[in-house]
Amino acid sequence: MSTITHFVTAEDLLNMPDDGTRHELVKGELLTMPVPKHTHGRVCANLIMILGIHVKANDLGEVWGESGFKLESDPDTVIAPDVSFTAKHRITDPPGFVEGPPDLAIEVRSPGDRTGKVQRKATMWLDFGIRSLWLVNPAKGTVEVCHANSDRQLFHESDELVDDVVPGFRVAVSKIFE
């Protein structure tokens, strides 16, 4: 007996009607996630504003919120970090999803996220060639910065976050959680 598996494609995902939930695609499998809660949204908005002001003022590239990146094909993988940055020289404006990873992906942990799930997603981003990944934990007031070269650094609310992937960027970690 054979089983026929129907993989969802990036095009299928792009053409899905808005059903009020978030979707990602991992190796052709459609993943559905609940809509983020208030704290998650506030932290994402803070990050978009703080990072966006610096990026625009210095003409460094683009900052996006929940935009999809197509990371592989056949079967397709399309994931959307909570916040992302792509350097100016790498920006494309496709009609669908951007091909390849951003330079920086930021994932904000929700209260229901299990550590294993967060680490699997971090590994996936790093395996797909992201230069830097920030794992933001509002409950602990921390930001873990993971670089492609396997360096990891944990920043607390009393620290200043610096990441050379975004040239000249510095922010008090406490500002992210205000």
Render pLDDT for 41-77 as a digit per residue (tens, 0 to 9): 999 999 999 999 999 999 999 999 999 999 999 999 9
Look at residue 99 and tell me if it is in a domain.
yes
Q: Phi and psi of 162, rounded to 5°?
A: -130, 135
Look at residue 23 and tell me if it is in a domain.
no
Look at residue 8 and tell me if it is in a domain.
no
The CATH number for 164's domain is: 3.90.1570.10
Q: What is the pLDDT of residue 1?
A: 43
Say which range, 146-155, 156-165, 169-178, has the weakest mean pLDDT. 146-155
CA angle 36, 95, 62 (to 5 degrees): 60
Residue 13 · residue 68 · CB < 8 Å: yes
Q: What is the pLDDT of residue 5?
A: 57
